Amino acid sequence: MSAFWAWIVLAAVVAAAVIAVEAGRRLLAGRLSARWPGAGLVARRVAAPAFAFAAVVGCSTALPFRLLADPAEDAVRQVLRIAAIGTTTWLVLRIGYALSDPPLDRLMRIEGDRNRRARKARTQMLLLRRIATVLIVVLALGAALFTFPGVRAVGAGVLASAGVAGLVVGIAARPVLGNLLAGLQLAFSDALRLDDVVVVQGEWGLVEELTLSYVSLRLWDDRRMIFPVSYFTEQPFENWTRHSSRLLGSVDLHVDWSVPIDELRAELYAALRDNPLWDRREWILQAVDVQPNGLVTIRAMMSAADSASTWDLRCDVREHLISHIRHHYPEALPRIRVETPEPARDVRGDGDGDGGRNGERDGGPNGDRAAPGEDGPAPAKTIRRA
């Protein structure tokens, strides 16, 4: 066969492989998508790596190596081997992601009592998928490196001294392996899940991302706090949605003693009954403390379906109670009472001889001293002994 026909055969084989992939893509996106709605999405996700894989396989099968010079033949074979490994890895990863994305999306839409189990399953699936991705990529890199003869020789030497090499690699990769094991521990011990509400170092946040190396928290003001995964296995933290997403919220008001607690309790129930954020599970209003400054602490507690609803419900109830007290019981608004003690009186007895003169000199009929002010009380008498 001449060189011309050899290259024609190569082009025909590559075109046939690409056409076969296109036919499979159209079948998945067409007829099969009616029975399996996710087939079209899978076909679109894997189309690019599938075309690349088909082209590489076609070239490896029909390339006329005999027409190439010896150095060029070796280089082309090496490039095709690495390309085959790369496209295969790309295709496998895309297939895995395309198949796992639909159930992950469905788990995100589950609400209510099943939400906690759904978040647990989603966290575990994401971690397992990341671990599988890392393993596949590492194996692909190793396979690509071992296609070079020099690397194979080095690999044999490393395997011969596997004990020392394993010790060195273990010491160097200790933080990475520690985070990897910590991520698996968190996921499968159900201690931390995606969308959990946690308090870490005094910051309230939502678990936005949980990877093999770090945990990303989205704080209430849209800031992000990044922690190593090992932090959550070594340090204490608060998890508000550990067993359920339902939470109790509280509102504290400091008011005057004259506040009518029974009427305020009835007003709280009326406000909660008309608020869609209240899950109608629990509510209470109590006087929980008396402050040293003379104010009474009133605490209203109510339940909601999740942390976001709890926060909004607390704000609504606080605004409603403040407005109600200000309009209907303005005398119960917080005020501080300050009382000054009465001054001591200078008490004097009626002595013989000079009592009257002292009284006249001091300005009182019975010897009482006049107060500094006209409206103030008279000071007490001073008792004299004979």
Residue-wise pLDDT tens digits, 66-104: 666 667 767 777 888 888 899 999 999 998 888 888 888
Percent of the chain whose pLDDT exceeds 70: 71
Question: How far, CA to CA in Å, does 31 sit from each of 35, 97, 325, 362?
Answer: 8, 22, 66, 117
Q: What is the pLDDT of residue 174?
A: 59
Tell me the average pLDDT across 355-372. 44
pLDDT digits (tens, 9 = 90+) for 253-294: 999 888 899 999 999 999 999 899 998 888 999 999 988 887
- Give the residue-averaged pLDDT of 6-27: 80
Share of the chain above pLDDT 90, in %: 14
Residue 370 scores a pLDDT above 50:
no
- Listing DSSP states for 18-63 in one string gives HHHHHHHHHHHHTHHHHH-TTHHHHHHHHHHHHHHHHHHHHHHHH-
Backbone angles phi, psi at 373, to 5 degrees: -105, 160
pLDDT for the residue 348 = 56
pLDDT given at position 70: 65
CATH of domain 247-332: 3.30.70.100
Q: What is the arithmetic mean of pLDDT over 318-339? A: 84
Higher confidence at residue 93 or residue 34?
93
Task: Pick the closest to residue 194 from 180, 179, 210 (CA basis).
Answer: 210
What is the reported pLDDT for 14?
Answer: 79
The length of the chain is 386
Residue among 380, 385, 375, 344 nearest 366 (CA): 380
Q: Mind listing the pLDDT tens digit for each residue in 122-146?
A: 888 888 888 888 889 888 888 888 8
Confidence of residue 306 (pLDDT cuts 50, 70, 90): confident
The confidence score (pLDDT) of residue 265 equals: 92
Higher pLDDT, 239 or 7: 239
Residue 20 has pLDDT above 50, yes or no: yes
Structure tokens at 204: 């309230």
Q: Looking at the predicted structure, is the pLDDT value of residue 374 above 60?
A: no
Q: What order do you get walking across the sheet with 214-219 strand by strand? A: 224-228, 214-219, 203-210, 197-200, 238-239
Listed range (149-163, 226-240, 301-315) with the worst mean pLDDT = 149-163
- What confidence score (pLDDT) does residue 315 get? 93
Burial of residue 155 (CB within 10 Å: 0-12, 13-18, 19+) is middle
pLDDT of residue 155: 53
Summary mean pLDDT of the chain: 76
Going from N- to C-terminal start, the domains of the chain cover 3-168, 247-332, 343-386
Which of 192-196, 215-219, 310-314, 376-380 has the weakest average pLDDT?
A: 376-380
Q: Sorting pLDDT into bands at 50, 70 and 90, what band is 238?
A: confident
pLDDT at 314: 92
